[in-house]
Amino acid sequence: MTVTATSVDESDRPRPRATPAPRRARLVWLVPAAAAALSGLLLYLSFPPRPLWWLALPAFAVFGWTLHGRTWKAALGLGYLFGLGFLLPLLVWTGVEVGPGPWLALAAVEAVFVALVGVGVAAVSGLPARPVWAAAVWIAGEAVRARVPFHGFPWGKIAFGQADGVFLPLAAVGGTPVLGFAVALCGFGLYEAVRLAVEGRRTRAVRRSAAAAALLSVAVPVAGAVAARPLVSDRAEDGTATVAVIQGNVPRAGLDFNAQRRAVLDYHARETERLAEAVKAGKVARPDFVLWPENSSDIDPFANPDARAVINTAAKAIGVPISVGGVVERDGRLLNEQILWDPVQGPTQTYDKRQVQPFGEYLPLRPLVGAINKDWTSMVRQDFSRGGEPGVFTVDGTKVGLATCYEAAFDWAVRDTVTGGAQMISVPSNNATFGHSEMTYQQLAMSRIRAVEHSRTVTVPVTSGVSAIIMPDGRITRKTGMFVPAHLVQKVPLRSFETPATRLGVLPEIALVLVAAGGLGWAIGAGLRGRRAQDA
């Protein structure tokens, strides 16, 4: 008997149908993952230049939903997705001129901190009054991120998205930690209120204490902001000063900004001379002093007679002192320096930037970075040194505090000027490297928060815009466009009142970190007791 083999087409074989369980399991994983990423995006949309501050509340509410009752591994992943959804679009400006590599690396590293916060929020989600613990954990994460690595990167603090929001007066109570805590508390409280409402419909058995805690988590931050409103004022306590902000513009945006340094200096001198002509013609009031931006003279005026002559000519034309942003080499150290230039005496006072920007003004891990990409090391050929003293210029009896550009993101760097006697603050900046990106608007919002936090007028002279004058109540009263030469002149109030935020300094942040630690300790202890009970 002969047996013949026949081939069978595999496509003709009946395929087992996918059971609904694996599909449901995939959906169970995908839905919270997508929600975490999208809620991070929602948080980004709450930041300037959009005045959509209130989007932070549903962002935290959805984030709280994704983390409720999760294991630490799931919470780590969901927190990381939330961080990427938030930070990738927020920090896209960091790659405008250097490409996507540094931008993606920065967002990926910073999102790790948010992932760890996610683990903490999930851990405290089983505690009573969970919105309080969760919001404190978020602020603890911001506190760490503002300090490590490389002296920290506070960009993206929740407070910095609230310049147009109802919670803004809380900045005067406890600075960015209290303002950020209120926003996160309200968002997490919103989720808790919705969760309890749904649970109550289903089981008709919700504890009154839990419901009260959820409602208070929403109501107390709003009530606190209303109660703090009297701390916000633009009344002149120490008289007024007429200030002029100069935006000279740059020949072109980009990383070759330094190659244009003589042109940039000439542009700022020229705009100052235009201001002098306007004063002479009676079109604007004569200022008491003039504020130039960071990097307005990248040619060292102490070492280069031509730069010194240009600044002297501009100062004599306007007839009042000018605060000049220079790059200075002194005793073998490269310094980002503000120089008060008198029309008669020349340079009289200086301030050296203390919080220099990693990978922008100095290069950490230089050998490693060079091994990855040699072009990146050539962008920062010589590291800037740090200054050691707060910057407060005394100009015609007015004390002007200085926080140069990146320093505006750091609580201590601005507060030091006010405790040092500053009656107003100036934030000279250079955003030319970042083109027309959102970076300048994000930084401007920081200065608005600082104005309310310390109850001071804040001026923001920028090489290419947006330059602005901000009242102590956070209102922008004058501003320029981007990449246009312009000058702003205004009489501004001088104030000596110290807000609770100024007086308390870092104490509110320490208190919230301790609250977070207490909540996490409670959650860990409860988990250990539960395991022992199961084992028994």
Provide the annotated active-site residues. 294, 353, 405
Residue position matching structure tokens 């949309």: 45
Cα angle, residue 52 at apex, residues 233 and 96 outer, rounded to 5° = 105
- Rounded Cα distance between 122 and 126, Å, is 8
The neighbour count for residue 212, using CB atoms within 10 Å, is 11
**Crossing angle, helix 100-123 and helix 130-145, to 10 degrees?**
150
What are the two backbone dihedrals, phi and then psi, of residue 79, each rounded to the nearest 5 degrees?
-65, -35
Q: How many CA atoms lie within 13 A of 190 on its CB side?
A: 17
- Rounded Cα distance between 378 and 153, Å, is 23
β-sheet with 468-470: strand ranges across: 391-395, 398-402, 424-426, 457-460, 468-470, 476-479
Q: Are 257 and 432 in contact (CB under 8 A)?
A: yes
* Structure token pair of residue 490: 């205004």
Q: Are 429 and 439 in contact (CB under 8 A)?
A: no
- Rounded Cα distance between 458 and 168, Å, is 16
The closest of 377, 378, 388 to 353, measured between CA atoms, is 388
* Structure token pair of residue 301: 């005026």
- Rounded Cα distance between 294 and 312, Å, is 18
First-to-last CA distance in the chain?
A: 70
Contacts of 220 (CB under 8 A, 6+ apart): 185
Beta pairing partners, 424: 400, 457
- Rounded Cα distance between 41 and 262, Å, is 41
Determine the residue type at 354.
R
β-sheet with 322-330: strand ranges across: 346-352, 333-342, 322-330, 289-291, 240-247, 486-493
Helices and strands, number each (H, E), in the chain: 15, 12
- Rounded Cα distance between 421 and 399, Å, is 7
